[in-house]
């Protein structure tokens, strides 16, 4: 079936923010008495807060502190870490090439709704985006499929084989796969290529870590699915 849309993750894919999120989560968890190694926290980045805390805290800890931790982390990230975020190069150029080829371009992220406009401004892509969903729009965040399923509906009830996802974490690929989407992985989030492919990525378009989705080898994926 003809490809009609490309759905992008944001953090680590379009915006260089994975380490910033990891630092914010580690600091927030430590504030509430949970001294969790940085690398263990970082490996969970790409999940929404609900899924991340489920991987790092016990059920009792989440029930007692989960909502308070998330509120604290969200405010901490906005005030201390988000101002340090930058867009990867060539993101706008990539979006323009995809649009010029007739594809629709969308964003599907576990981020908070009030973070989305900041990311669009950093990457200078607001005028090029056809649709967007975030963690606040759904009940379950990545690696569950809700965010991608919601985006397919917002793009006019597209069939999964009419779109392709682009992301930097195994959780993007897992979530997209559960929604029936294929995923191209980028290495800019710091996850190894092996982990991305194991999670279901059909390709890893950016061969050098830190280059982001804007540096994928081609102007865009083939318009026909195979």
pLDDT digit string, tens, across residues 99-123: 999 999 999 998 989 999 999 999 9
User: Is residue 170 predicted with pLDDT exceeding 90?
Assistant: yes
pLDDT at 205: 66
Question: Can you tell me the distance from the alpha carbon of 177 to that of 110, in angstroms, rounded to the nearest whole number?
Answer: 16
Q: What is the pLDDT of residues 59-113, one digit of tens each?
A: 999 999 999 999 999 999 999 999 999 999 999 999 999 999 999 999 999 898 9
Average pLDDT over residues 46-59: 95
Vertex 12 angle, CA 116 and 220, to 5°:
90
CB neighbours of 93 closer than 8 A, spacing ≥ 6?
A: 214
Among candidate residues 160, 172, 161, 141, the one with its CA nearest the CA of residue 54: 141
Question: Rounded mean pLDDT of the chain?
Answer: 90
pLDDT at 210: 37
User: Is residue 39 predicted with pLDDT exceeding 60?
Assistant: yes
């Amino acid at each position: 079936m003809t490809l009609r849309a490309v759905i992008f993750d944001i953090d680590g894919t379009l915006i260089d923010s994975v380490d910033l999120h990891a630092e914010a989560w580690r600091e927030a968890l430590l504030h509430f008495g949970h001294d969790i190694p940085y690398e263990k926290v970082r490996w969970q980045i790409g999940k929404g807060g609900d899924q991340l805390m489920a991987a790092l805290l016990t059920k009792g800890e989440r029930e007692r502190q989960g909502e308070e931790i998330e509120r604290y982390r969200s405010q901490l990230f906005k005030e201390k870490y988000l101002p340090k975020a930058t867009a990867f190069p060539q993101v706008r150029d990539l979006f323009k090439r995809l649009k010029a080829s007739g594809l629709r371009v969308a964003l599907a992220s576990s981020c908070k709704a009030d973070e989305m406009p900041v990311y669009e401004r950093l990457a200078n892509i607001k005028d090029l985006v056809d649709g967007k969903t975030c963690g606040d729009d759904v009940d379950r965040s990545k690696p569950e499929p809700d965010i991608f399923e919601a985006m397919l509906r917002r793009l006019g009830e597209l069939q999964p084989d009419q779109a392709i996802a682009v992301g930097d974490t195994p959780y993007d690929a897992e979530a997209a796969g559960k929604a029936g989407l294929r995923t191209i992985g980028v290495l800019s989030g710091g996850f190894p290529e092996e982990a991305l492919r194991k999670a279901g990525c059909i390709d890893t378009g950016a061969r050098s870590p830190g280059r982001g989705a804007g540096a994928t080898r081609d102007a865009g994926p083939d318009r026909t699915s195979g």
